[in-house]
């Protein structure tokens, strides 16, 4: 996770310098609930470009990253990327917390215990000294099992709670990483100074955050504005009704580079909406590739 956080953070700094490029995700629909997604990026300072592709079918996803040399055009690697996707997404949340959450943040509220949740919590715990996590999932057995597993993994107090409100009201840092199509908490529950990382949902008809939450934000940040204007329901829905303006939305590279302050006051409510960038995939894939070559693992491919 530490390597992934460094790779993602560096990729955003390089984006600020004009040393990389990122293209929004596109979906090709193959049937009801079946599609192929594709997203691509180039990292000139790292000498690599590539793309991630994934399929959705029968309720499951399969991810692969293809990495190329920008010097020769050679295909360097094909990486099965389900775990890589967890790492880069958790790392991006960690980067947002490093630059946008209060430095004294010590409590985390976590809504959701699915595939991405563990890496989200790990990413946060790598950049802040977390004393307690309160986790909610609609299924009691899931939240209890998750709390037990993550308390042991991260050596942090993780408490399952019986309602979203208990997790939200206690949080300095709130992570939403659910499969819900509708808001998962009331924005009035947020206490001043909270940093929200909204990770679930990448669809214009889906949102984890309600209008109240979005309107309370002193700083709204997305990973990629062009992509957000296509598939970020949390912002598309209120923007369509004039509740927010796209002109007030910033990108994470602006915050990481220092062009935009991550927060001005301790009481600011800050929001990072994570949709996922191919640039993060390429950055973390390059770390994996370099380690694989150094350790002599993986199947070598011909030219």
Structural domain including 36 reads 2-84+279-295
Residues 113 and 213 reside in one and the same domain: yes
Report if residue 60 sits inside a domain.
Answer: yes
pLDDT of residue 299: 81
Q: Are residues 176 and 287 in the same domain?
A: no
| Position 37 in a domain | yes
pLDDT at 31: 87
Alpha-carbon span 18 to 43, nearest angstrom: 10
**For residues 20 and 45, what is the distance between their CA atoms, to the nearest angstrom?**
7
Residue 303: inside a domain: no
Nearest to 156 by CA among 195, 126, 181, 179: 126
Q: Judge contact between 134 and 201, C-beta under 8 A.
A: no
Residues in CB range of 65: below 8 A, 6 or more apart: 50, 51, 52, 77, 78, 79, 81, 84, 281, 282, 285
Alpha-carbon distance of 162 to 134, in angstroms, equals 10
Low-confidence ranges of the chain (pLDDT < 50): none
CB 21 within 8 A of CB 41: yes
Residues 61, 157, single domain; the answer is no
Q: Give all strands (DSSP E) within 154-274, no chain letters.
A: 157-160, 173-176, 195-198, 219-222, 249-251, 270-273
The verdict on 258 and 288 lying in the same domain is no
Residues 144 and 218 in one domain: yes
**50 and 148 part of one domain:** no
Measured from the Cβ of residue 67, the count of other Cβ atoms closer than 10 Å reads: 23
From the list 34, 9, 28, the residue with the least C-alpha distance to 20 is 9
CA dihedral 87, 90, 92, 93 (to 10 degrees): -170
Would residue 229 show up in a list of annotated catalytic residues for this protein?
Answer: no
* 47/112 same-domain check: no
3-state SS class at 65: strand
Flag whether 300 is in a domain.
no
* 128/177 same-domain check: yes
Query: 242 and 124, same structural domain?
Result: yes
Q: For residue 204, is it within any domain?
A: yes
pLDDT value at position 301? Answer: 66
Residue 19 lies in a domain: yes
CATH number at residue 197: 3.40.50.720
Q: How far is residue 91's CA from residue 119's CA, in Å, rounded to a whole number? A: 8
Q: Distance between CA 22 and CA 157 in Å, rounded?
A: 38
**Number of domains observed in the structure of the chain:** 2
pLDDT in tens, 34-84: 999 999 999 999 999 999 999 999 888 999 999 999 999 999 999 999 999
* CB neighbours of residue 259 within 10 Å: 11
The whole-angstrom separation of Cα 182 and Cα 140 is 20
- 192 and 258: one domain? yes
CATH number (domain holding residue 80): 3.30.1780.10
In a domain, 301, yes or no: no
Residue 302 lies inside a defined structural domain of this protein: no
Q: Are residues 270 and 162 in the same domain?
A: yes
Q: Are residues 223 and 132 in the same domain?
A: yes
């Amino acid at each position: 996770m530490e390597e992934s956080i460094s790779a993602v953070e560096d990729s955003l700094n390089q984006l600020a310098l004009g040393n990389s490029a990122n293209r929004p995700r596109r979906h090709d629909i193959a049937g009801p609930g079946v599609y192929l997604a594709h997203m691509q990026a180039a990292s000139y300072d790292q000498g690599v470009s590539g793309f991630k592709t994934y399929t959705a079918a029968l309720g499951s996803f399969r991810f692969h990253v293809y990495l190329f040399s920008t010097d020769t055009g050679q295909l360097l690697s094909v990486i099965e990327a389900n775990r890589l996707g967890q790492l880069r997404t958790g790392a991006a949340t960690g980067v947002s917390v490093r630059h946008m959450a209060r430095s004294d943040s010590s409590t985390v509220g976590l809504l959701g215990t699915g595939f991405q949740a563990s890496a989200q919590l790990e990413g946060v715990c790598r950049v802040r000294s977390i004393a307690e996590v309160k986790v909610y999932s609609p299924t009691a057995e899931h939240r209890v099992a998750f709390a037990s597993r993550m308390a042991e993994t991260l050596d942090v107090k993780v408490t399952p709670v019986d309602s979203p409100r208990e997790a939200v009201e206690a949080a300095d840092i709130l992570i939403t990483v659910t499969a819900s199509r509708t808001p998962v908490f009331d924005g009035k529950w947020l206490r001043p100074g909270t940093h929200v990382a909204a990770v679930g949902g990448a669809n214009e008809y889906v949102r984890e955050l309600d209008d109240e939450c979005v309107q309370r934000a002193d700083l709204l940040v997305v990973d990629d504005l062009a992509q957000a204007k296509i598939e970020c329901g949390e912002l598309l829905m209120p923007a369509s009704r004039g509740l927010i303006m796209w002109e007030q939305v910033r990108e994470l590279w602006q915050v990481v580079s220092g062009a935009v302050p991550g927060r001005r006051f301790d009481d600011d409510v800050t929001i990072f909406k994570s949709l996922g960038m191919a640039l993060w995939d390429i950055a973390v894939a390059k770390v994996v590739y370099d380690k694989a070559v150094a350790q002599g693992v993986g199947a070598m491919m011909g030219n």
